[in-house]
């Protein structure tokens, strides 16, 4: 059976997005500063960047696809990534609002799942075959998988930034035990792979 992994960039104080998320600032105030390592040190972090995009299928929350705030879908909203998102495979979006699948260039198809994380995981496993399923984010979605005991490996990319507020990763996840299995870093990030203990 395929593993369930999750890659998230997190601040030193435990936030994956800054405060006051909006359509203008989907990662919140100063949230983009978390991801400098992916652009300013791209070559030095190429293995981690490739690892983020090697899964056979992905699961993400509605806010990661469409931005903060509840409610029905914005008319014709096609995500943040342009016409060719980086996933190049099936992406299952957790939502309370039904929507037809959305095919994009490069092989990415967004499927909208409104019957919970177990259903999303079953569909993602089927789509992934023998490859991993990746929980792409955001924080709330990662917390659901952690607290349900459905995650096998958590890969944190720790940015030396203090956000002071926003979306925390480890709030209300219960008694989760993480075993570090690999650590490396560059000037803008420390990468830590954890095996999630059940």
In a domain, 22, yes or no: no
Residue-number span of the structural domain to which 64 is assigned: 4-17+28-68+89-197
107 versus 78: the higher-pLDDT residue is 107
pLDDT, average across residues 96-106: 92
- Report pLDDT for 75: 67
pLDDT above 70: percentage of residues in the chain: 96
- 131 against 97, higher pLDDT: 131
Kindly report the average pLDDT of the chain as a whole number.
Answer: 93
Rounded to an integer, the average pLDDT of 136-165 is 96
Q: Is 76 within the bounds of a domain?
A: no
Rg (CA), the chain: 16
Contact between 165 and 18 under an 8 Å Cβ cutoff? The reply is: yes
* pTM recorded for the entire structure: 0.94
Number of folded domains that form the chain? 1
pLDDT at 69 over 70: no
74 inside domain: no
| Averaged pLDDT for residues 175-187 | 95
145 part of a folded domain: yes
Portion of the chain with pLDDT greater than 90, in percent = 81
CATH number of residue 126's parent domain: 3.40.430.10
**pLDDT grade for 82, boundaries at 50, 70 and 90:** confident
Q: Is residue 78 part of a domain?
A: no
Confidence of residue 41 (pLDDT cuts 50, 70, 90): very high
């Amino acid at each position: 059976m395929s593993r369930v992994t999750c890659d998230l960039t997190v601040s030193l104080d435990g936030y994956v997005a800054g405060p006051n998320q909006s359509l203008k600032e989907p990662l919140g105030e100063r949230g983009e500063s978390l991801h400098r390592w992916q652009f300013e040190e791209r070559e030095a972090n190429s293995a981690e960047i490739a690892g983020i995009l090697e899964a056979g299928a992905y699961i993400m929350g509605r806010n990661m696809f469409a931005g903060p705030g509840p409610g029905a879908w914005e008319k014709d909203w096609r995500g943040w990534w342009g016409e060719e998102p980086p996933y190049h495979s099936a992406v299952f979006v957790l939502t309370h609002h039904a929507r037809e699948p959305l095919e994009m260039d490069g092989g990415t198809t967004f499927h909208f799942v409104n019957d919970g994380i177990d259903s999303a995981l079953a569909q993602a496993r089927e789509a992934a075959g023998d490859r991993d399923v990746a929980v792409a984010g955001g924080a709330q979605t990662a917390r659901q998988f952690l607290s349900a005991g459905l995650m096998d490996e958590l890969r944190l990319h720790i940015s030396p930034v203090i956000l002071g507020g926003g979306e925390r990763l480890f709030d209300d996840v219960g008694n989760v035990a993480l075993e570090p299995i690999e650590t490396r870093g560059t000037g803008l990030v420390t990468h830590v792979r954890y095996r999630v203990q059940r």
